[in-house]
Protein backbone atom coordinates (compact mmCIF):
# COMPACT_ATOMS: atom_id res chain seq x y z
CA UNK A 1 0.00 0.00 0.00
CA UNK A 2 1.01 3.63 -0.43
CA UNK A 3 1.74 5.86 2.56
CA UNK A 4 3.55 9.06 3.41
CA UNK A 5 6.66 8.51 5.53
CA UNK A 6 9.47 10.72 6.77
CA UNK A 7 12.99 9.36 7.30
CA UNK A 8 14.40 12.66 8.53
CA UNK A 9 13.00 15.80 10.11
CA UNK A 10 12.74 19.01 8.12
CA UNK A 11 10.63 20.92 5.59
CA UNK A 12 7.79 19.62 3.40
CA UNK A 13 10.33 18.00 1.07
CA UNK A 14 11.16 15.26 3.63
CA UNK A 15 7.74 13.64 3.12
CA UNK A 16 7.92 10.70 0.74
CA UNK A 17 5.13 8.64 -0.88
CA UNK A 18 6.36 5.08 -0.47
CA UNK A 19 5.18 1.48 -0.61
CA UNK A 20 4.82 -0.17 2.80
CA UNK A 21 3.20 -3.35 4.08
CA UNK A 22 -0.51 -3.20 4.84
CA UNK A 23 -1.03 -3.43 8.61
CA UNK A 24 -2.91 -6.28 10.28
CA UNK A 25 -5.45 -5.31 12.95
CA UNK A 26 -4.98 -6.65 16.47
CA UNK A 27 -7.88 -8.18 18.39
CA UNK A 28 -9.18 -4.80 19.58
CA UNK A 29 -8.48 -2.94 16.34
CA UNK A 30 -10.13 -2.23 13.02
CA UNK A 31 -8.42 -2.02 9.64
CA UNK A 32 -9.64 1.12 7.90
CA UNK A 33 -9.48 1.64 4.16
CA UNK A 34 -8.65 5.34 4.25
CA UNK A 35 -10.32 7.84 1.94
CA UNK A 36 -9.26 11.09 3.58
CA UNK A 37 -7.06 12.53 6.29
CA UNK A 38 -7.11 15.84 8.07
CA UNK A 39 -4.12 18.17 7.84
CA UNK A 40 -3.33 19.83 11.17
CA UNK A 41 -0.62 22.11 12.58
CA UNK A 42 0.64 19.22 14.71
CA UNK A 43 1.50 17.39 11.48
CA UNK A 44 4.15 19.90 10.45
CA UNK A 45 5.35 20.24 14.05
CA UNK A 46 6.03 16.48 14.05
CA UNK A 47 7.58 16.69 10.57
CA UNK A 48 9.96 19.39 11.82
CA UNK A 49 11.09 17.28 14.77
CA UNK A 50 8.45 18.06 17.40
CA UNK A 51 8.14 20.36 20.39
CA UNK A 52 9.50 19.67 23.86
CA UNK A 53 6.62 17.30 24.64
CA UNK A 54 6.85 15.31 21.42
CA UNK A 55 10.61 15.08 20.79
CA UNK A 56 11.22 12.13 23.14
CA UNK A 57 8.41 10.17 21.45
CA UNK A 58 9.42 10.61 17.80
CA UNK A 59 11.23 7.67 16.23
CA UNK A 60 12.09 7.59 12.51
CA UNK A 61 10.81 6.48 10.06
CA UNK A 62 7.47 8.03 10.93
CA UNK A 63 3.97 8.41 9.53
CA UNK A 64 2.02 11.65 9.76
CA UNK A 65 -1.63 12.54 10.32
CA UNK A 66 -3.86 12.92 13.37
CA UNK A 67 -7.27 11.95 11.98
CA UNK A 68 -9.16 10.61 9.02
CA UNK A 69 -12.13 8.79 7.57
CA UNK A 70 -12.70 5.65 5.57
CA UNK A 71 -14.41 2.27 5.42
CA UNK A 72 -13.93 -0.65 7.79
CA UNK A 73 -12.03 -3.33 5.85
CA UNK A 74 -11.46 -5.86 8.65
CA UNK A 75 -12.28 -6.12 12.35
CA UNK A 76 -10.32 -7.73 15.16
CA UNK A 77 -11.81 -10.73 16.94
CA UNK A 78 -12.72 -8.68 20.05
CA UNK A 79 -14.33 -5.78 18.20
CA UNK A 80 -18.07 -5.21 18.42
CA UNK A 81 -20.12 -2.34 17.04
CA UNK A 82 -18.48 -2.25 13.63
CA UNK A 83 -18.75 -4.36 10.51
CA UNK A 84 -16.97 -4.48 7.17
CA UNK A 85 -18.09 -1.57 4.97
CA UNK A 86 -19.01 0.81 7.81
CA UNK A 87 -18.06 4.40 7.06
CA UNK A 88 -16.06 5.64 10.03
CA UNK A 89 -14.05 8.61 11.24
CA UNK A 90 -11.57 8.90 14.07
CA UNK A 91 -7.98 9.13 15.21
CA UNK A 92 -5.05 6.70 14.74
CA UNK A 93 -2.95 4.94 17.32
CA UNK A 94 -0.43 7.34 18.88
CA UNK A 95 1.96 8.73 16.22
CA UNK A 96 1.12 6.04 13.64
CA UNK A 97 -0.38 8.49 11.15
CA UNK A 98 -3.30 8.62 8.75
CA UNK A 99 -1.57 9.67 5.50
CA UNK A 100 -1.90 6.09 4.23
CA UNK A 101 -4.18 3.89 2.14
CA UNK A 102 -4.88 1.63 5.15
CA UNK A 103 -4.42 2.02 8.91
CA UNK A 104 -4.97 -0.35 11.82
CA UNK A 105 -6.27 1.47 14.89
CA UNK A 106 -8.04 0.80 18.18
CA UNK A 107 -11.77 0.46 17.53
CA UNK A 108 -12.48 2.70 20.53
CA UNK A 109 -10.88 5.58 18.64
CA UNK A 110 -13.44 5.54 15.79
CA UNK A 111 -17.16 6.06 15.33
CA UNK A 112 -19.66 5.92 12.47
CA UNK A 113 -19.14 9.15 10.56
CA UNK A 114 -21.96 11.69 10.02
CA UNK A 115 -24.23 10.48 7.22
CA UNK A 116 -24.41 13.93 5.62
CA UNK A 117 -20.64 14.40 5.21
CA UNK A 118 -18.25 13.29 2.51
CA UNK A 119 -15.10 11.38 3.45
CA UNK A 120 -13.06 14.53 2.91
CA UNK A 121 -15.27 16.51 5.29
CA UNK A 122 -15.44 13.80 7.94
CA UNK A 123 -11.75 12.99 7.72
CA UNK A 124 -10.69 16.58 8.28
CA UNK A 125 -12.31 17.11 11.68
CA UNK A 126 -11.95 14.38 14.37
CA UNK A 127 -8.84 15.72 16.12
CA UNK A 128 -10.03 19.34 16.21
CA UNK A 129 -13.60 18.32 17.07
CA UNK A 130 -12.46 16.20 20.02
CA UNK A 131 -10.34 19.03 21.41
CA UNK A 132 -13.15 21.56 20.95
CA UNK A 133 -15.68 19.27 22.66
CA UNK A 134 -13.35 18.42 25.53
CA UNK A 135 -12.41 22.07 26.01
CA UNK A 136 -16.04 23.11 26.40
CA UNK A 137 -16.67 20.25 28.83
CA UNK A 138 -13.72 21.35 30.95
CA UNK A 139 -15.07 24.91 30.87
CA UNK A 140 -18.50 23.75 32.06
CA UNK A 141 -20.13 25.56 29.15
CA UNK A 142 -23.92 25.48 29.29
CA UNK A 143 -27.08 27.51 28.60
CA UNK A 144 -26.67 31.22 29.19
CA UNK A 145 -22.93 31.10 29.98
CA UNK A 146 -20.68 33.73 28.37
CA UNK A 147 -17.71 32.00 26.78
CA UNK A 148 -14.69 33.60 25.16
CA UNK A 149 -13.08 31.50 22.42
CA UNK A 150 -9.62 32.74 21.47
CA UNK A 151 -8.37 31.68 18.05
CA UNK A 152 -11.97 31.24 16.93
CA UNK A 153 -11.23 31.06 13.20
CA UNK A 154 -9.01 27.98 13.49
CA UNK A 155 -10.01 24.36 13.17
CA UNK A 156 -10.61 23.91 16.90
CA UNK A 157 -12.06 27.37 17.52
CA UNK A 158 -14.58 27.35 14.67
CA UNK A 159 -15.99 24.02 15.85
CA UNK A 160 -15.99 25.18 19.48
CA UNK A 161 -18.17 28.14 18.51
CA UNK A 162 -20.76 25.84 16.97
CA UNK A 163 -20.64 23.32 19.83
CA UNK A 164 -21.03 26.14 22.38
CA UNK A 165 -23.99 27.62 20.51
CA UNK A 166 -25.59 24.15 20.42
CA UNK A 167 -25.23 24.10 24.23
CA UNK A 168 -27.03 27.46 24.46
CA UNK A 169 -24.03 29.60 25.39
CA UNK A 170 -23.34 33.22 24.43
CA UNK A 171 -20.13 33.12 22.38
CA UNK A 172 -17.49 35.80 21.93
CA UNK A 173 -14.85 34.87 19.38
CA UNK A 174 -11.46 36.43 18.73
CA UNK A 175 -9.44 36.33 15.53
CA UNK A 176 -7.26 38.53 13.37
CA UNK A 177 -9.05 41.20 11.36
CA UNK A 178 -8.69 39.02 8.24
CA UNK A 179 -10.90 36.28 9.73
CA UNK A 180 -13.54 38.28 11.63
CA UNK A 181 -16.21 37.63 9.00
CA UNK A 182 -15.54 33.89 9.10
CA UNK A 183 -16.02 33.87 12.89
CA UNK A 184 -19.35 35.66 12.44
CA UNK A 185 -20.44 33.15 9.80
CA UNK A 186 -19.87 30.15 12.08
CA UNK A 187 -22.13 31.67 14.73
CA UNK A 188 -20.26 33.87 17.22
CA UNK A 189 -22.52 36.43 18.95
CA UNK A 190 -19.64 38.89 19.16
CA UNK A 191 -16.30 39.02 17.35
CA UNK A 192 -13.18 40.82 18.52
CA UNK A 193 -9.92 41.56 16.71
CA UNK A 194 -7.27 40.35 19.17
CA UNK A 195 -4.77 42.70 17.54
CA UNK A 196 -6.93 45.69 18.49
CA UNK A 197 -5.14 47.94 20.97
CA UNK A 198 -8.36 48.02 23.03
CA UNK A 199 -8.63 44.22 23.11
CA UNK A 200 -8.56 44.00 26.90
CA UNK A 201 -11.17 46.74 27.35
CA UNK A 202 -13.62 44.84 25.14
CA UNK A 203 -13.65 41.80 27.42
CA UNK A 204 -15.87 41.57 30.48
CA UNK A 205 -18.14 39.20 32.45
CA UNK A 206 -16.68 36.00 31.00
CA UNK A 207 -17.72 32.67 32.53
CA UNK A 208 -15.17 30.57 30.64
CA UNK A 209 -12.15 31.21 28.46
CA UNK A 210 -11.24 28.59 25.86
CA UNK A 211 -7.85 29.40 24.38
CA UNK A 212 -8.00 27.41 21.14
CA UNK A 213 -5.14 29.26 19.44
CA UNK A 214 -1.95 27.44 18.45
CA UNK A 215 0.02 30.66 19.07
CA UNK A 216 1.16 31.23 22.67
CA UNK A 217 1.12 34.74 24.14
CA UNK A 218 1.38 35.21 27.90
CA UNK A 219 0.06 38.77 27.88
CA UNK A 220 -3.00 37.68 25.91
CA UNK A 221 -3.61 34.93 28.47
CA UNK A 222 -3.43 37.47 31.28
CA UNK A 223 -5.80 39.88 29.52
CA UNK A 224 -8.38 37.16 29.03
CA UNK A 225 -8.02 35.91 32.60
CA UNK A 226 -8.65 39.41 33.97
CA UNK A 227 -12.05 39.40 32.24
CA UNK A 228 -13.20 36.21 33.97
CA UNK A 229 -15.98 36.20 36.54
CA UNK A 230 -15.55 34.49 39.89
CA UNK A 231 -15.85 30.68 39.96
CA UNK A 232 -15.03 30.47 36.26
CA UNK A 233 -12.65 28.42 34.09
CA UNK A 234 -9.64 29.06 31.86
CA UNK A 235 -9.06 26.19 29.42
CA UNK A 236 -6.18 25.93 26.96
CA UNK A 237 -5.07 23.61 24.15
CA UNK A 238 -1.45 24.78 24.45
CA UNK A 239 0.05 21.76 26.18
CA UNK A 240 3.69 22.80 25.51
CA UNK A 241 3.10 26.04 27.45
CA UNK A 242 2.16 25.42 31.11
CA UNK A 243 0.21 28.05 33.01
CA UNK A 244 2.50 30.64 34.59
CA UNK A 245 2.54 31.43 38.30
CA UNK A 246 1.24 34.93 37.55
CA UNK A 247 -1.75 33.51 35.68
CA UNK A 248 -2.51 30.94 38.38
CA UNK A 249 -2.24 33.60 41.08
CA UNK A 250 -4.66 35.84 39.18
CA UNK A 251 -7.13 33.00 38.69
CA UNK A 252 -6.90 32.15 42.40
CA UNK A 253 -8.20 35.61 43.30
CA UNK A 254 -11.31 34.77 41.27
CA UNK A 255 -11.63 31.19 42.56
CA UNK A 256 -11.21 30.23 38.89
CA UNK A 257 -9.74 26.97 37.60
CA UNK A 258 -6.99 26.54 35.00
CA UNK A 259 -7.25 23.41 32.86
CA UNK A 260 -5.36 21.92 29.92
CA UNK A 261 -7.12 19.59 27.50
CA UNK A 262 -5.89 16.00 27.57
CA UNK A 263 -6.45 12.73 25.72
CA UNK A 264 -8.57 11.53 28.66
CA UNK A 265 -11.82 11.36 26.75
CA UNK A 266 -14.16 8.66 25.44
CA UNK A 267 -13.28 9.16 21.78
CA UNK A 268 -15.85 6.86 20.20
CA UNK A 269 -18.79 8.15 22.24
CA UNK A 270 -17.76 11.78 21.75
CA UNK A 271 -17.41 11.38 17.99
CA UNK A 272 -20.84 9.70 17.93
CA UNK A 273 -22.34 12.69 19.79
CA UNK A 274 -20.62 15.10 17.42
CA UNK A 275 -22.00 13.16 14.45
CA UNK A 276 -25.54 13.65 15.77
CA UNK A 277 -25.01 17.42 15.98
CA UNK A 278 -23.66 17.53 12.44
CA UNK A 279 -26.53 15.41 11.12
CA UNK A 280 -29.02 17.73 12.83
CA UNK A 281 -27.58 20.72 10.96
CA UNK A 282 -26.37 22.47 14.13
CA UNK A 283 -22.73 22.15 13.06
CA UNK A 284 -21.46 22.94 9.58
CA UNK A 285 -18.11 21.68 8.32
CA UNK A 286 -16.20 24.10 6.12
CA UNK A 287 -13.39 22.66 4.02
CA UNK A 288 -10.93 25.22 2.72
CA UNK A 289 -9.11 22.99 0.23
CA UNK A 290 -8.66 19.33 -0.68
CA UNK A 291 -5.28 17.97 -1.84
CA UNK A 292 -4.46 14.62 -3.46
CA UNK A 293 -2.07 12.44 -1.45
CA UNK A 294 0.84 13.13 -3.77
CA UNK A 295 0.47 16.90 -3.14
CA UNK A 296 0.92 16.65 0.61
CA UNK A 297 3.96 18.97 0.54
CA UNK A 298 1.84 21.72 -1.00
CA UNK A 299 -0.80 21.17 1.69
CA UNK A 300 1.75 21.55 4.49
CA UNK A 301 3.20 24.68 2.93
CA UNK A 302 -0.26 26.24 2.59
CA UNK A 303 -1.10 25.40 6.20
CA UNK A 304 2.19 26.73 7.57
CA UNK A 305 1.88 30.00 5.65
CA UNK A 306 -1.86 30.35 6.40
CA UNK A 307 -2.78 30.67 2.72
CA UNK A 308 -6.21 29.09 3.15
CA UNK A 309 -9.27 29.37 5.39
CA UNK A 310 -11.24 26.44 6.73
CA UNK A 311 -10.05 22.91 7.36
CA UNK A 312 -7.69 21.23 4.91
CA UNK A 313 -8.19 17.65 3.77
CA UNK A 314 -5.87 15.14 2.14
CA UNK A 315 -7.75 12.92 -0.34
CA UNK A 316 -6.15 9.51 -0.16
CA UNK A 317 -8.43 7.84 -2.69
CA UNK A 318 -11.49 8.84 -4.65
CA UNK A 319 -14.95 7.42 -4.08
CA UNK A 320 -16.10 5.35 -7.05
CA UNK A 321 -19.84 5.04 -7.49
CA 58 from chain center: how many Å? 20
3-state helix, strand, coil in the chain (%, to 5): 30, 30, 40
Q: What is the pLDDT of residue 64?
A: 97
Give the Cα separation of 49 and 52 in Å (integer).
10
* pLDDT digit string, tens, across residues 130-162: 999 999 999 999 999 999 999 999 999 999 999
Q: At the topology level of CATH, where does 128-260 sit?
A: Rossmann fold (3.40.50)
Q: At the topology level of CATH, where does 2-125+285-315 sit?
A: Quinone Oxidoreductase; Chain A, domain 1 (3.90.180)
Domain ranges of the chain: 2-125+285-315, 128-260
Q: What is the CA radius of gyration of the chain?
A: 20
* pLDDT digit string, tens, across residues 155-193: 999 999 999 999 999 999 999 888 899 999 999 999 999
Query: Which element (helix H / strand E) includes 184?
Result: helix 180-185
Instruction: Let me know if 304 is exposed, middle or buried by CB neighbors in 10 A (0-12, 13-18, 19+).
Output: middle
With H, G, I as helix, E, B as strand and everything else as coil, classify residue 238. Answer: coil
Amino acid sequence: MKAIRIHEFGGPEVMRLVEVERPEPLADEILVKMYASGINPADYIVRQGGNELLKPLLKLPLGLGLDGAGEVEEIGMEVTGFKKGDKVYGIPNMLQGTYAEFIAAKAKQFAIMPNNLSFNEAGAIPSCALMAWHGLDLGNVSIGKRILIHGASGGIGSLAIQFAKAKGAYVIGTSSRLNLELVKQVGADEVIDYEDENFADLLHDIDAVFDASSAFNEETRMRMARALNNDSSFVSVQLPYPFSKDLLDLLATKHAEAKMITRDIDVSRTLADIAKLIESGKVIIRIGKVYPLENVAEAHLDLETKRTQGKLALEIRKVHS
